[in-house]
Amino acid sequence: MVSAGDFRNGVTFEMEGKVYSIVEFQHVKPGKGAAFVRTKIRDVIGGGVVERTFNPSEKYPTAFIERKDMEYSYSDGGLYYFMDPESFELVPIGEDILPDSFKFVKENTVCRVLSYKGSVFGLEPPNTVTLQITQTDPGFKGDTATNATKPATLETGAVVRVPLFIDEGELLLIDTRTGEYLSRA
C-alpha cells in the first residue's frame, strides 16, 4: 500500500480498478484548512492523463508493472512475436498495442515489453536505432537552401526527412521517439 502523502513521480498504484502512474505531484499546505496532494496521474493501460487531488492519508495498493527486455523475432498477420531471452518463449503481441514508433524496429531488435499481472499492455522500442536507407532521391548541386531536407525510405519501410547530402545505402541513426534523423552511423 502507498499513501497519497508518499506519492513521487513514477509511483504506480491501483485506484477504481485501473492502474495509474504519477506524472507530477505537489504537496500543498494551505494556511487555512487541511493539507492535500495535487497530482497529474496517467492511466498506464489507457494512456489518458487526469489531474486529481488526494487527501495525504488516503491509501492505495501498489501496482507492479513488469518491464522485460525481449527480442523482436517476426510478424505474422496482425501479431508480432517477441522472444524472452531467458526462457526462449515466444510472446505474441497484437498490432493495436504497438506504438507508432514501432515502425523503426527491425527483426532481432531488443524492445522493452510492459505487462501488468501477466497481461501485456505496452511496448517501448529502443530510443535510437541504426537503419539503412533503401531509397532516396539524389541531392543536386545548388540545392543548398538553409536546412534543406528530402524524404528517405528506410529498410523497415518508414520514411524520414534527411539532409540533401545523404545517399542510398548509408546507415543512419534515428531517434524512435521523434522519428528524426540524428546522424550517420
How high is the mean pLDDT of the chain?
87
Output the CA–CA distances (angstroms, integers) from residue 158 to 27, 104, 107, 144, in the order listed.
44, 6, 14, 25
Q: What is the mean pLDDT of residues 89-117?
A: 88
Domain that holds residue 91: 66-124
At residue 129, does pLDDT exceed 70?
yes
Same domain, 15 and 51: yes
Please report, rounded to a whole number, the percentage of residues in the chain having pLDDT higher than 70.
96
Give the 3-state secondary structure of residue 100: helix
Question: What total number of domains does the chain contain?
Answer: 3
4 DSSP β-pair partners:
none
Same domain, 34 and 72: no
Q: What is the mean pLDDT of residues 79-93?
A: 90
CATH classification at residue 15: 2.30.30.30
| pTM (predicted TM-score) | 0.72
Q: What is the mean pLDDT of residues 14-25?
A: 88
What CA–CA distance (Å, rounded) separates 156 from 65? 29
Reported as half-sphere exposure (CB side, CA atoms, 13 A), residue 155 has a value of 13
C-beta separation of 61 from 80 below 8 A: no
pLDDT digits (tens, 9 = 90+) for 148-158: 788 899 998 88
> 15, 39, 60: which is the final residue of a domain?
60
Residues in the chain: 185
Same domain, 6 and 56: yes
At residue 140, does pLDDT exceed 80?
no
Phi, psi of 4 (to 5 degrees): -60, -30
CB-count exposure of residue 87 (10 Å: 0-12, 13-18, 19+): exposed
At residue 70, does pLDDT exceed 90?
yes
Same domain, 75 and 101: yes
CATH classification at residue 153: 2.40.50.140
Same domain, 26 and 56: yes
Give the 3-state secondary structure of residue 82: strand
